[in-house]
Structure 1
Amino acid sequence: MPAVSRSRPVALLTGAGRERGIAAGVARKLAAEGWDVAFSYWRGYEDRMPWGRDAADPATALGDRLRELGARALALEADLTDPEVPARLFDAAERELGPVQALVMLHCESVGSDLLGTSVESFDRHFAVNARATWLLVREFGLRFDGPADRGRIVAFTSDHTVGNLPYGASKGALDRIVQAAAKEFAGRGITANVVNPGPVDTGWMSESQRADVTRWTPLGRLGTPEDAAHLVAFLLSAEGGWINGQLLYSNGGL
């Protein structure tokens, strides 16, 4: 492998398919904070969702924005239902940018259905993406991380929305336990692992009535933004955030 400059640490980030999404906001913040960023996205998921895909390819739109902020950027289209994909993401990030120091997971499968209406196919897809892919990414990071000492970081995003959204909420519960296990099992490798629950964030999926309800229910009287989540991730990835480990953090304005 050719020598790669390590003047900027490298973060691997998943789920950056939409400009308005949390992952894109986190990627921009990390780039501005001095990170190089490899990010994955999957337009096949966006195509199945009501909002559809962005007109601009994330590889171009987000990648160019990260480079404007001073980062090297690598875009990787990846279907995380394939168990071979997590290792390939790390291979590509290491080859193009260098060893990965932080893993930030915002990918998800989220198609609402209740206890009686959930199909086996939907249940299995949610667990393949939200739980199995998370485990495989975490495992890959644990196998590959080689320092600097005490600077390895894992952050995953979760949700407690389970009622009427059974496969999503149940698979996110599994994600929580996987990441919290890494906080203990990887401690000797110099890696912290935390889970963030951002609450409802205004990324374009809310109806006007939902926006009004969430604003009313939040003590601070506004909707959450991707930038709110990005500030927390940047802190957790910093040296100053290194004492926070094994936590499920609610960053939701007190909802």
Structure 2
Amino acid sequence: MHAHTATRPVALVTGAGRTSNIAAATARTLAAHGWDVAFTYYRPYDARMPWGAEEGAARALHAAITEYGARALGVEADLADPQAPARLMDTVADRLGPATALVLAHCESVDSGLLDTTPESFDRHFAVNTRAAWLLIREYALRLKAPHGAGRIIALTSDHTAHNLPYGASKGALDRITLAAATELAHLGVSANALNPGPVDTGWMSAEHARQLRSATPLGRLGTPQDCAHLIEFLCSARGGWVNGQLITSNGGLA
């Protein structure tokens, strides 16, 4: 049982549209360690990406969470909508209770560079990756009921910007917002950290890209969603509460 409270605290994990991704691994891991878990997904995003939408992913993740004796709640949310974060937080609070941990693992990620990024793509990346993260953090803080010192914010970030301009730039802004929360939400006892997991194999890499990344990593393998989920679970736990205001790189030593 989680150390923060006698009953299970609630975690909200965004971006769990596929059962193989970091958000889904995090949701399952938190459930296994005493959390009730709400998660978001958005099928239209996956449908327009090369991997496609995974039929039944939300149902499968819901079932996996409840297998640990946890309550689960899946909410489809278009986080490009500036009204979505408040609606989402209200839904989570009504169904499970206010969130103690907020894990921001959603993203818009469509490759383009300095010369070919469109204003529309740039704006959508910032709406989803940056504005939605700020609004979710704000709405989380406004509803927080957890004991002082128990609150957690963890945002998944990236330093991949070349040829991935709107994604990388919007993630850089996300870093700053998250780290600001460590100071601005100090009165609530919330720790806030940004986590850069490096390249994680969730099915998007070509065989050649995967080979190059493995050869550039001292441990000779790719990161897995579970690698990231273990670290997030630690940061969410009472054991991880002293880690605050950090941009953490956990990538196996990738050169």
Match of 2:29 in 1: 29
Aligned positions of 1:183-198 closer than 5 A: 183-198=182-197
Give the residue type in structure 2 aligned to 1:144. R
- Aligned counterpart, 1:133: 132
- The one-letter code sitting in structure 2 at the alignment partner of 1:236 is L
Q: Which secondary structure does the structure 2 equivalent of 1:12 belong to? A: strand
Q: Secondary structure at the match of 2:85?
A: helix
Counterpart for residue 17 of structure 1: 17
Match of 2:114 in 1: 115
Tell me, in whole angstroms, the C-alpha distance in 1 between the residues paired with 2:75 and 2:142: 21
Say whether the 8 Å CA contact 1:6–1:98 is kept in structure 2. no
In structure 1, distance between residues paired with 2:26 and 2:146: 22
Letter in 1 for 2:161: T
For 1:148 and 1:163, the matched residues in 2 are separated by 42
Tell me, yes or no, if the aligned pair for 1:192 and 1:245 is still in contact at 8 Å: yes
Q: Counterpart in 1 of 2:97?
A: 98
Equivalent residue number for residue 38 of structure 1: 38
Deviation at 1:178, TM superposition (A): 0.3
Distance 1:149 1:164 in 2: 42
Distance in 1, matches of 2:6 and 2:179, equals 28
Q: Encode CA deviations 1:19-58: one digit per residue, 9 max, x unaligned.
A: 11010000010000010000000001001100001122x3
Structure 2 residue matching 1:60: 3-state secondary structure:
helix
Indicate the residue corresponding to 2:123 in structure 1.
124
Q: Which runs of 4+ in 1 moved over 3 A?
A: none
Alignment of 1:158-177 (within 5 A): 158-177=157-176
Between 1:91-100 and 1:224-233, the stretch displaced more is 91-100
User: Structure 1 CA distance, aligned partners of 2:212 and 2:69?
Assistant: 39
**Counterpart position of 2:232:** 233
Q: Is 1:205 paired with 2:184?
A: no
Structure 1, unpaired ranges of 5+: none
Distance 1:251 1:179 in 2: 17
- Look up the SS of the partner of 1:40 in the other structure: strand
Give the whole-Å Cα distance in 2 for the aligned partners of 1:163 and 1:89: 33
Q: Identify the residue that residue 221 of structure 2 maps to in structure 1.
A: 222
Structure-2-length-normalised TM-score: 0.96
1:50 maps to: 50
1:59 shift after superposition = 2.5
Q: Please say which of residues 5-14 and 86-95 is displaced more in the overlay.
A: 5-14
> Over residues 182-231 of structure 1, what are the superposed CA-to-partner deviations in whole Å (9 max), with x where a residue is unaligned?
00000111100000000000000000001111110011111100000000
Q: Which residue of 1 aligns with 2:80?
A: 81
Mapped to 2, the partners of 1:202 and 1:106 lie a distance apart of 15
| In 2, Cα distance between equivalents of 1:142 and 1:27 | 21
- Amino acid across the alignment from 1:201: V
Q: Higher mean Cα deviation, 143-152 or 155-164?
A: 143-152
| SS of the residue 1:193 aligns to | strand
Deviation at 1:6, TM superposition (A): 6.8
Letter aligned with residue 54 of structure 2: D
Structure 2: which amino acid aligns with 1:72?
A: R
Aligned amino acid, residue 66 of structure 2? R
Question: What is the TM-score normalised by the length of structure 1?
Answer: 0.96
The answer to whether 1:157 aligns with 2:156 is: yes
RMSD (Å), alpha carbons = 1.0
Structure 2 residue runs without a partner (length 5+): none
